[in-house]
Amino acid sequence: MAKRTPFDEKYWNLAQAAAWVEFRERDLVEQFAIADRESYKALHMYPSMWPETRKRLNSIDELHHALEEGRLTASGYHVGEPDRLAQVPAAEWMDLVISPPIAYVAGELSTQKQRWSDVRVLSADIKRLWRDIGEVSLRTEFDWQAIRAIYEEIVARQPSMSKNKLIEELQLEFSERLNKDPPGRSSIQRRLKTWS
């Protein structure tokens, strides 16, 4: 019988969830089973020291959007009821900032105030929303969730950029990050209509 690892656990903490969303690496999920804020920050501090195979596919914002929109649910211990595990309401994520493995109150980052502690998500839900890269490549030529995350990053950096320029920039970043040919202009345009 195969040994059970943190990757196989029913629940993942926010650092494990963020690592999977960003990188889709089983080893990182296992590494962050016992996580603190500094170890997660260190992962992002030195990209030049990453293994050659490591590619950032999404941002933590994608995880935050899924929680905020209710596509993903999380549980934790509310400060008002520290002994009772409860579901974090989707609406609360509008006021929270994910700083793996912690979710801080957005307006009180300087004091590192938490409304919920020990936040966790179902690993099966994370794996369903953000498929393993190998699994995605078998199903379809492109991981459109990863492409959307890149698109949203570009829009956040350059909100006044024209649609045509955004598509060009998206294709360029896709090629650079994933080292493969990007989807065609018409495919991206069709997706953009569903993302708006």
User: In tens digits, what is the pLDDT along the chain, a chain of 196 residues?
Assistant: 567 889 999 999 999 999 999 999 999 999 999 978 888 898 888 888 888 888 888 899 999 999 999 999 999 999 999 999 999 999 999 999 999 999 999 988 889 999 999 999 999 999 998 888 655 444 456 778 888 888 888 888 888 988 889 888 888 888 777 777 788 888 888 888 877 6
Per-residue pLDDT at 139: 45
77 located within any domain: yes
First to last CA, the chain: 47
**146 and 121, same domain (yes or no):** no
Full residue range of the structural domain in which residue 72 is found: 8-130
**130, 158, 183 - which closes a domain:** 130
**Distance from C-alpha of 82 to C-alpha of 142, rounded to nearest angstrom:** 43
107 located within any domain: yes
Per-residue pLDDT at 137: 44
**97 and 14, same domain (yes or no):** yes
Are residues 67 and 74 in contact, defined by beta-carbon separation less than 8 angstroms? yes
**40 and 72, same domain (yes or no):** yes
| CA neighbours closer than 13 Å in the CB half-sphere of residue 117 | 9
**13 and 34, same domain (yes or no):** yes
Per-residue pLDDT at 47: 85
Per-residue pLDDT at 1: 58
**38 and 98, same domain (yes or no):** yes
Examine residue 101 and say whether the peptide bond preceding it is cis (omega within 30 degrees of 0).
Answer: yes
Per-residue pLDDT at 188: 87
Strand partners, 105: 96
Q: What is the pTM of this model?
A: 0.68
**119 and 164, same domain (yes or no):** no
